[in-house]
Amino acid sequence: MRLSQNSIALYVVVIALGFLASLLFPNELAQISGLVIVVVLIQTWILANKYMSVGQRAFVLYAVVIICGIAAPFAFPNYVTQIAILWLMILFALTWDMMGGQMGYNSLGNIIFFGVGMYASAIVQIGLYYDVAQYTSHAGAVKVQYDWFQYVFGMGLGLIAAAISAVVVAVVLGRVVFGLRGPYFAIGTLGAAIAAGELVGAWDYVGGGGGITMPTFPGSGDERSLFFYFALFGLALFTFAFLKWLYSRRYALAVNAIRDDEDKAEAMGIHTLRYKTVAWAMSAFLLGMSGAVFGNMSGFVEPLEVAFPTITFGIFMVLMALLGGKGTLWGPVLGAVVFHIIKELTWTYFLGWQWVALGMLIIINVAYFQQGILGWAQEKWPDFFGLTVDESDTREAAADASGEASK
Amino acid sequence: MNSIIEIKDVSKAFGGVIANQSISINVAEGGITGLIGPNGSGKTTLFNSIVGHHPIDSGSIKFEGAEISTFKVQQIARLGLLRTFQQTRIYSKMNCVQNMLISIPHRTSGILDMFKAHSPETNERALELLEFVGLFSKRNLIAGDLSFGQQKLLEFAMALMNEPKVLLLDEPTAGINPTLINGLIDRLKMANEQFGVTLFVIEHNMRVIMNLAEHIYCLAHGELLAEGKPDDIQNDQRVVDAYLGAH
Ligand SMILES: Nc1ncnc2c1ncn2[C@@H]1O[C@H](COP(=O)(O)OP(=O)(O)OP(=O)(O)O)[C@@H](O)[C@H]1O
Ligand SMILES: [Mg+2]
């Protein structure tokens, strides 16, 4: 039986969801129903493999993920925020991989775009109806109460501003740091991220280190969490779909070529700077929007912990992509799911030791498991992923062989 | 015959090492020109100067009549002046077909071309050229897993995929199995005759270069020692001395 990359991903996603389900509901009924869900899903998948074409199977996989995504906040109403953050993590890992995995530029500073987007949206959303400097100088004394239209309209504009400003920062920063390669690029971008947090912290207009309170959500608490859940879910879904399309284009081979040998790529006439800039700008675009949503979701924007959390979110992005398997489409998704579950568990059950546990995970990942979950699975079961090679000598022989196989 | 590359008085030094000393060379359009010389005589340095890998200290390099000595590597490549590397370079984590597909000419690529899919013609051309160099059966293998000689062939195929006007080949037969060398010579000649690519070839193997080139330049200690038809070069006492003296 031949399975695609997709099916491994599904098993892991399904088992993870089931696992999460049984843990989140520590009573027997919920655990049993979690198990039933897992069994039903796996059974569906096995049947799908037996009776469906590759295209149909992919369709089922996407349908299952989307249905789970839509159902999750209603099935687990107490954990809407955690699951929303999972989608954010998936977006983080995917956008980091655009540079680090696909292009070999290991950025430790992608969090900049998240923070820039967050602040851009904050300024636009507040500035739409208030004087921002005056608002921030009263530090929370003014409660911003928008009606639905004002809120949604402001946030829409905020998202646009977030995406644009993140792209501008990516293009400008790229001019500076794209001259650096290898570890120098990593350190350079890390420095830029730390500096960004400090700079914003010293900028009084946006409240400096004291931060900005975002407009209050006009609906109820439940409506609020659902609103932001679906915003992040939609953004992650869009990111995945966009990358799936993008990686079937010339773009993918060009950035992979830059990863493998940039000097060769230059010698072959590839517009390397253009590809690097566009790659970074696209990942900044997506991160900027996610920052805007997250800022509104947390309700309060502040430079070090929320907007530019370099050593948490900034490093998690890298870890998740490495854990799942960098340079693949599904690897970062898998990595984000596994990482988020491990992280939530250690934060719950090993409180006080969570950073140690996380450190161990990093060491094991980097020292013994560099290819990540997906890379490891592909190496172990190449047939499983359709990575077998037709060794026909000529094009005629290859045509014959594929003709016979299809008979 | 017209000269497609005109090199005039080009000098290049690395610190105290004078790698090229006022070298003048003309590469005839549509022909095969050879470049020989003992190890360290400055052949690769000259190639690097031509393709803009480093700035030259003085002199002039013209391609199709236009000065290119201040251009960057990518610009020169996009003009149709391409080189292969002495230390073969391919994209090692991509398979052979992918290596070929991304080696298309980027002369007229605009921003939006990044998002184009690979056309069926490009795919077909990639497979044709892989078959041409004898790597068709390896097409789905990761390029980094190929043997050194196979990588050399792949790099040659990638260069052809780029449809260059001039191809600078740095020791194309180094590391190639002697029984395959004749086949490779034939392919180089075919690339020259059928695809109309002007070749400028660095080669240590005398039998190969005598067989291949119409005109040969010989460097020694960074200076141009001799030039002429293969027979003249072979019988030139200075060339013989340079080679014997260097070993
Ligand atoms: N980047 C560099 N930095 C310093 N010295 C260099 C550099 N490149 C070449 N050289 C020196 O220039 C001289 C010529 O080197 P080059 O590589 O051009 O020789 P070559 O003719 O290609 O030799 P081979 O046949 O061994 O490939 C050598 O003495 C070499 O050490
Ligand atoms: Mg050399």
**Token code pair at residue A187:** 């350190």
Residue B174 has pLDDT above 50, yes or no: yes
At which residue do the structure tokens 């939530």 appear?
A344
Q: What is the average pLDDT across A120-132? A: 86
Asked if A177 and A187 touch (Cβ cutoff 8 Å), the reply is no
d(CA A107, CA A151): 34
pLDDT over 60 (residue A276): yes
Question: Cα–Cα distance between B230 and B206 in angstroms, integer?
Answer: 10
In eight-state DSSP terms, residue B13 is E
Q: Is B44's C-beta closer than 6 angstroms to any atom of ligand 1?
A: yes
Q: What percent of chain A has pLDDT over 90?
A: 47
Nearest CA in chain B to A261: B91
Ligand of minimum distance to the alpha carbon of B20: 1
pLDDT at A348: 77
Comparing A263 with A56, the larger pLDDT belongs to A263
Higher-scoring residue by pLDDT: A257, A394: A257
Q: Please report the pLDDT score of residue B247 as a whole number.
A: 46
Question: Does residue B244 or residue A178 have the better pLDDT?
Answer: A178
* pLDDT bucket at B203, cuts 50 / 70 / 90: very high
Name every chain A residue with its beta carbon within 8 A of the beta carbon of B48.
none
Closest CA to B32 of B188, B186, B213: B213
How would residue A31 be classed by pLDDT, with cut points 50, 70 and 90? low
pLDDT of B55 higher than 60: yes
Q: How far apart are CA A261 and CA B7, in angstroms?
A: 29
Min Cα distance B101 → chain A (Å) is 8
| Residue-level pLDDT at A406 | 40
Question: Is a pLDDT exceeding 90 seen at residue A144?
Answer: no
Q: How confident is the model at residue A86, as a pLDDT?
A: 95
Query: Which residue among B53, B78, B136 places its CB closest to the CB of A393?
Result: B136
Shortest alpha-carbon distance between residue B212 and chain A (Å): 25
pLDDT at A36 over 80: no
Ligand closest in space to the Cα of B23: 1
Counting from 1 in the atom list of ligand 1, the atom nearest the Cα of B45 is: 18
Distance separating alpha carbons of residues A297 and A216, to the nearest angstrom = 10
Helix %, strand %, coil % for chain A, to 5?
80, 0, 20
pLDDT, average across residues A155-183: 94
Mean pLDDT score of chain B: 91
* pLDDT of res. A9: 67
Q: Quick one: average pLDDT of A197-222?
A: 85
CB of B45 within 6 A of ligand 1: the answer is yes
Q: Is the pLDDT of residue A284 over 90?
A: yes
pLDDT value of position B64: 93
**Ligand 2 center to A332 CA (angstroms):** 42
Q: Is the CB of B39 under 6 A from ligand 1?
A: yes
State which ligand 1 atom lies nearest to the alpha carbon of B37. Answer: 21
CA distance B103 to chain A (A): 7
State yes or no: ipTM above 0.85.
yes
Tell me, using a 6 A CB cutoff, whether residue B42 lines ligand 1.
Answer: yes
- pTM for the model: 0.88
- Judge contact between B140 and B97, C-beta under 8 A: yes
Rg (CA), chain A: 23
Contacts of A270 in chain B (CB under 8 A): 74, 102, 106
Query: How would you label A207-240 residue by residue, b for 16+ Cβ within 10 Å and e otherwise?
Result: bbeebbbbbebbeeeeebbbbbbbbbbebbbebb
Provide mean pLDDT across the span B238-243: 81
Q: Which of the four pLDDT bands, split at 50, 70 and 90, describes residue A213?
A: confident
If pLDDT is split at 50, 70 and 90, which confidence band does A243 have?
A: very high
Q: Which is higher by pLDDT, A380 or B31?
A: B31
Reported in sequence order, the residue ranges of chain B that DSSP labels E, i.e. its strands, are 3-14, 17-28, 32-36, 58-63, 66-67, 81-83, 166-170, 198-202, 215-220, 223-228
By three-state DSSP, how is residue A391 classified?
Answer: coil
Q: How far does the centroid of ligand 2 lie from the alpha carbon of residue B27, in Å?
A: 18
State the Cα–Cα distance between residues B48 and B62, nearest whole angstrom.
Answer: 14
A376: region left, alpha or beta (phi > 0 left; psi from -120 to 50 alpha): alpha
Residue A48 in contact with residue A57, Cβ under 8 Å? yes
Higher per-residue confidence, A387 vs A155: A155
Q: Which residue has the higher pLDDT, A54 or B177?
A: B177
Q: Write down the pLDDT at residue A404.
A: 46
CA–CA min distance A385, chain B (Å): 14
**Mean pLDDT in residue range A376-391:** 67
**pLDDT > 70 fraction of chain A, expressed in percent and rounded:** 81
Q: Residue B222 has which token pair? A: 């960074």
The verdict on the CB of residue B86 being under 6 Å from ligand 1 is yes
Which pLDDT value is given to residue A205? 82
Give yes or no for residue A3 having a pLDDT over 60: no
Q: Tell me the domains of chain B and their CATH numbers.
A: 1-80+164-247 (3.40.50.300), 90-163 (no CATH)
Tens of pLDDT, residues A294-345: 999 999 898 888 889 988 899 999 999 999 999 999 999 999 999 998 888 8
For B68-122, the pLDDT digits (tens) are 999 999 999 999 999 999 999 999 999 999 999 999 998 888 888 889 999 999 9
Token output for A129:
């109806």
pLDDT at A286 over 90: yes
- Give whole-number Cα distances, A149 to A219, A333, B3, in Å: 12, 34, 71
pLDDT-wise least confident of A198-212, A265-279, A324-338, B132-146: A198-212
| Mean confidence (pLDDT) of chain A | 84
Q: Which residues of B touch A275 (CB under 8 A)?
A: 114
3 state DSSP class of A115? helix
Q: Are A305 and A311 in contact (CB under 8 A)?
A: no
